[in-house]
Amino acid sequence: MDKDLASVQEARERISKAHEAWQIWSKATQAEVDRVCEAMADAAFQASERLGLMAHEETGYGVPEHKKLKNVVGSKMVWESIRAEKTVGVINFDREKRISEIAWPMGVIVALVPSTNPTSTAFFKSLISVKARNAIVVSPHPSAARCTYEAVFVMAQAAEKAGAPQGLISCMQQVSLEGTNELMSHRKTALILATGGTPMVRAAHSTGKPAYGVGPGNVPVYVDRSADLQKAAKYIVASKAFDCSTICATEQAVVADRPIAKQLADLMYSEGAYFCNEKETDLLRKTVFNPNGSMNVNVVGKPAQFVASFAGFSVPDTARILVTPLVDIGRNEPLSHEKLTTVLGWYEVDGWEQGCDVSMALIASGGTGHTQIIHAQNEDVILKFGLEKPVFRILVNTMGTVGAVGLTSGLTPSFTLGSGGIGGAITGDNITARHLINIKRLAYELYEPPAEILTPVSIPNLTSLSELEPFVEKTLQEILNL
Residue 413 has pLDDT above 80, yes or no: yes
β-partners of residue 213 are 194
Residue 462 has pLDDT above 60, yes or no: no
Whether 248 sits among the annotated catalytic residues: the reply is yes
pTM (predicted TM-score): 0.91
CA distances from 256 to 149, 261, 384 (A): 43, 5, 17
Q: What does the pLDDT read at residue 451?
A: 87
* Predicted confidence band of residue 61 (pLDDT cuts 50, 70, 90): very high
16-42, pLDDT tens digit by residue? 999 999 999 999 999 999 999 999 999
* Predicted confidence band of residue 73 (pLDDT cuts 50, 70, 90): very high
Residue 467 has pLDDT above 70, yes or no: no
Kindly list the structural domains of the chain, giving each domain's residue range(s) and its CATH number in brackets, ordered by start. 3-213+432-439 (3.40.605.10), 219-411 (3.40.309.10)
329-355, pLDDT tens digit by residue? 999 999 999 999 999 999 999 999 999
- The whole-angstrom separation of Cα 326 and Cα 322 is 13
β-partners of residue 371 are 393
Residue 449 has pLDDT above 60, yes or no: yes
Catalytic choice (147, 171, 244, 248): 248
Q: What does the pLDDT read at residue 170?
A: 98
How many other CB atoms sit within 10 Å of the CB of residue 178?
Answer: 15
Share of the chain above pLDDT 70, in %: 95
Residue 472 has pLDDT above 80, yes or no: no
Which range (256-265, 289-298, 406-415, 456-465) has the least confidence?
Answer: 456-465
Q: What does the pLDDT read at residue 205?
A: 76
Instruction: Kindly compute the dihedral angle of the four CA atoms of residues 116, 211, 418, 158, in this order, to the nearest 10 degrees.
Output: -60
| Nearest alpha-carbon partner for 190 in 368, 26, 323, 331 | 26
Q: What does the pLDDT read at residue 417?
A: 93
Distance of CA 308 to the CA centre of its chain: 30
149-178, pLDDT tens digit by residue? 999 999 999 999 999 999 999 999 999 999
Residue 465 has pLDDT above 60, yes or no: no
